[in-house]
Amino acid sequence: MFAIGAPIADSRGIEGVVNGKIELDALLAILNHHSLGSSGYAYLVGDDGIIISHPDQSYNANRFQHSLRRHRQWETNSRLPK
């Protein structure tokens, strides 16, 4: 199970937090069955840098590597292992 949270803010600052939980199976179903645009895809990487779910299953259970980054046009998380 994953817990997800995000602040609710306005010009005065943080007013509250919205959060929820999602089962891993449900999250993987969403990732595996939806594309992003005409050629994009989503994948899931754990805090430890291990790939949890990728459309190319040969990447699963392996550490996120530079070779995989070449498929991305931009970085969203500077904490990913190098």
Under DSSP, is residue 49 helix (H, G, I), strand (E, B) or coil? Answer: coil
Contacts of 32 (CB under 8 A, 6+ apart): 53, 55
If asked whether residues 56 and 28 sit together in one domain, one would say no
Domain span including residue 51:
38-82
pLDDT at 77: 46
Q: How many domains does the chain have?
A: 2
**Bridge partners, residue 6, by sequence:** 18
pLDDT per residue, tens digit, the chain (82 aa), is: 878 889 999 999 999 999 999 898 888 888 777 778 888 888 888 878 888 888 888 888 888 875 555 554 444 444 444 4
**Bridge partners, residue 10, by sequence:** 13
Count helices and strands (H / E) in the chain.
2, 4
If asked whether residues 75 and 61 sit together in one domain, one would say yes
pLDDT at 18: 94
